[in-house]
Amino acid sequence: MSKTALDQTLTIDTVPAIPVSTVRDYFTLLKPGVMTLVVFTGAVGLLIAPGHIHPFLALVAIACIAVASGAAASINMWYDRDIDQHMKRTMNRPIPAGRVPADEALSLGILLSIVSVTVMAVAINLAAAALLAVSIGFYVFVYTMWLKRRTPQNIVIGGAAGAFPPMIGWAAVTGGIDLNSMALFMIIFMWTPPHFWALALFRCGDYAKVGVPMMPVVAGDLATKKQMLFYTILLLPVTLVPYFTGLLGLFYAATAAMTGLWFLRHAWRVLRNAEEKAPQKMFGYSILYLFVLFGAMVADIWLEGFIT
């Protein structure tokens, strides 16, 4: 190869690759993994609520919940870009990796927030739209901007954001809030601390590095594990409320009891340091648990219709 040709090859090969944003990067900004469970719990709220909604409107309401969840996540990624670039788990996200400009993530989040709340208000009802706006506001302002970097109780209070979706689905059908929809809210509210602290236990170093006062960083592992057990114990009776109010039947109650006891076993094993990967296993189980619990709600209603 001539020197000129070799130079050209070297020049072409050594030009640093300019990161190009792809549709996938923008989709990643919406935290699609979390969105799956948000959408699922929202859809369950809608499916088990008393009353009727046209299937097309049901799909519109669920789409609004999905879009709002993604919108809030995109604004969260914009705000947290300074700490995300230093944490192992988050450093390859589209903004810290330089694949998406930060202001575009913010614009996308604001645009999707406005679209989702407006469509919910116009096509569904004002109660569902108001709850949707509150959940976005809770995630963005209360959790991300106010509490996350200030207190180890950040996820207990801020976690309420993720507890709204079933209430929103319920309100889409009924136009309001009642004891049962509040019970659905409380289930996710109580579930969030063990869900998140299980992860925080094995990602503690990341949070300490960037100065985010997650519970294990501030109070230590033992205190965190005790609090996880506390919330997991409280969660069990809360999951049985829809059975005692008569909304759901025995199939649901039995599933809630069994899966809840298994969650408790995880919390106990984490507390006792039963194995090195106990927190990782509890985190994984927390996600499966919520899917199964909410799935059992729908199955219970279908079974009841089938039997009677």
d(CA 282, CA 265): 9
Name, in order, each residue with C-beta under 8 angstroms of 17's C-beta and a sequence gap of 6 or more: none
As measured in angstroms, the least distance from the Cβ of 43 to ligand FPP is 12
Name the DSSP letter for residue 124.
I
134 burial (CB, 10 Å; 0-12 / 13-18 / 19+) is: middle
Of 28, 29, 30, 38, the one binding ligand HEM by CB under 6 A: 38
Instruction: Answer yes or no whether residue 28 interacts with ligand HEM by CB under 6 A.
Output: no
Of 28, 41, 74, 76, the one binding ligand FPP by CB under 6 A: 76
Instruction: Answer yes or no whether residue 34 interacts with ligand HEM by CB under 6 A.
Output: yes
Tokens found for residue 112: 């999707």
Q: Which single residue is written with the structure tokens 């000129």?
A: 4
Which residue minimizes CB distance to ligand FPP?
A: 162
Of 94, 109, 162, 279, the one binding ligand FPP by CB under 6 A: 162
CB of 129 or CB of 290, closer to ligand HEM: 290
Residues 132-171 that bind ligand HEM (CB under 6 A): 143, 155, 158-159, 162
CB of 138 or CB of 252, closer to ligand FPP: 138
Q: Which single residue is written with the structure tokens 């991300």?
A: 144
Residue 188 binds which entry of ligand FPP, ligand HEM, none, CB below 5-8 Å type-dependent: ligand HEM
Instruction: Answer yes or no whether residue 109 interacts with ligand FPP by CB under 6 A.
Output: no
Of 117, 136, 267, 290, the one binding ligand FPP by CB under 6 A: 136
Q: CA distances (Å), 13 to each of 5, 6, 16, in order? A: 12, 10, 8
Instruction: Answer yes or no whether residue 214 interacts with ligand HEM by CB under 6 A.
Output: no
Classify 17 in phi/psi space as left (phi over 0), alpha (psi -120 to 50) or beta: beta
Instruction: Answer yes or no whether residue 38 interacts with ligand FPP by CB under 6 A.
Output: yes
Of 30, 140, 188, 241, the one binding ligand HEM by CB under 6 A: 188
Instruction: Answer yes or no whether residue 161 interacts with ligand FPP by CB under 6 A.
Output: yes
Residue 199 binds which entry of ligand FPP, ligand HEM, none, CB below 5-8 Å type-dependent: ligand HEM
Q: 210-215 long-range contacts, Cβ below 8 Å, gap at least 24? A: 210/83, 210/86, 210/87, 211/83, 211/149, 212/83, 212/148, 212/149, 213/149, 213/150, 213/151, 213/152, 213/154, 214/152, 214/154, 214/155, 215/152
CB of 150 or CB of 306, closer to ligand HEM: 150
Query: What is the enclosing helix (H) or strand (E) of 135?
Result: helix 126-137
Q: Are 164 and 136 in contact (CB under 8 A)?
A: no
Q: What is the largest CA-CA distance in the chain?
A: 85
As measured in angstroms, the least distance from the Cβ of 258 to ligand FPP is 26
The footprint of ligand HEM (CB under 6 A) covers 33-34, 36-38, 41, 89, 143, 155, 158-159, 162, 188, 192, 195-196, 199, 287, 290
The footprint of ligand FPP (CB under 6 A) covers 34, 38, 65, 68-69, 72, 76, 80, 90, 135-136, 139, 148, 161-162, 164-165
